[in-house]
Amino acid sequence: MPKIKTSKKKYPRGWDIISPTLDEFDIKMREVEASPYEGKRKNEVNWPIFRIHHQRSRYVYEKFYKNKEISRELYEFCLTEGYADKNLIAKWKKPGYERLCCLKCIQDLSHICICRVPKKDLTKGTILECSSCGCKGCAGAFSNKNKNNKNNNDDDDDDDDDDDDDDENDNDGDNDNDNSNSNQEREKDNNNKKKNSNSEIDGNQKNESDNESENESENES
């Protein structure tokens, strides 16, 4: 809750820009705190309080970081005086926590609050409602981005596998060509050997016929 306003307190320049909206949040907070609790579950009683606390902190956060409408001096004044939750804002600056609803959702490290799970990853029909603050989903964009990048990397891996298959097919084709060339060279060598062996046979037959002719001549003489 914001600290009590006093006339002696010095407000930074630009306070008049945001003070009407902060006063409206203060009025809403008092109305919620004074509202009856009948018909509500125990954990539902504080949901409106958490919601207004979140909205007020978000208002100051966006006025400084996104819209650049207030000075750092005024921004730090709002944090010091309790108009914004500095611990919650510190989480909003981190990847994956840009829309965090409340700090209770991340205090238990052994448990993941249902509101922190992306809706597309939930089973159909799952009731999406934080038990601490009633949030219906505050998963940041960073986790989705990482999943998309992972899917893109998987697609790249598939493309690499296809390229490897193409390379293997090319190698198989080269091997087939090498094998056919080797077979042709083998056949050529075999043909040459046959020719050489035939030549040797013809030579031997010629020598034998010459020897027979010489023997016949000697016998006749």
Span 94-143, pLDDT tens digits: 998 999 998 988 887 777 888 888 878 877 777 778 888 888 888 876 54
- In this structure, what is the dihedral angle of CA atoms 114, 116, 119, 122, given to the nearest 10 degrees? -40
Residue 60 has pLDDT above 50, yes or no: yes
Residue 28 has pLDDT above 70, yes or no: yes
The winner for highest mean pLDDT among 24-38, 179-193, 199-213 is 24-38
Number of residues assigned to the chain: 221
Q: What is the DSSP letter of 9?
A: P
Is the pTM value of this prediction over 0.85? no
The pLDDT value recorded for residue 217 is 47
Residue 88 has pLDDT above 80, yes or no: yes
Query: What single-letter amino acid sits at 150?
Result: K
Of 20-29, 32-41, 80-89, 178-187, the one with minimum mean pLDDT is 178-187
* Closest by CA position to 22, among listed 49, 65, 52: 52
Span 180-195, pLDDT tens digits: 555 566 666 666 555 5
How many angstroms separate the CA atoms of 91 and 131, rounded? 20
* 171, two tokens: 């190698």
* Number of Cβ within a 10 Å radius of residue 84: 24
* Number of Cβ within a 10 Å radius of residue 94: 11
Query: 148 versus 131: which is more confidently predicted?
Result: 131
The pLDDT value recorded for residue 92 is 94
Residue 216's pLDDT band (boundaries 50, 70, 90)? very low
Residue 201 has pLDDT above 70, yes or no: no
How many angstroms separate the CA atoms of 192 and 153, rounded? 58
Give Cβ neighbours of residue 194 (< 8 Å, ≥ 6 apart). none
At residue 118, φ and ψ (nearest 5 deg) are -55, 140
Query: 157 versus 107: which is more confidently predicted?
Result: 107
Residue 206 has pLDDT above 60, yes or no: no
At residue 66, φ and ψ (nearest 5 deg) are -95, -50
* Closest by CA position to 137, among listed 126, 146, 148, 151: 126
Query: 147 versus 43: which is more confidently predicted?
Result: 43
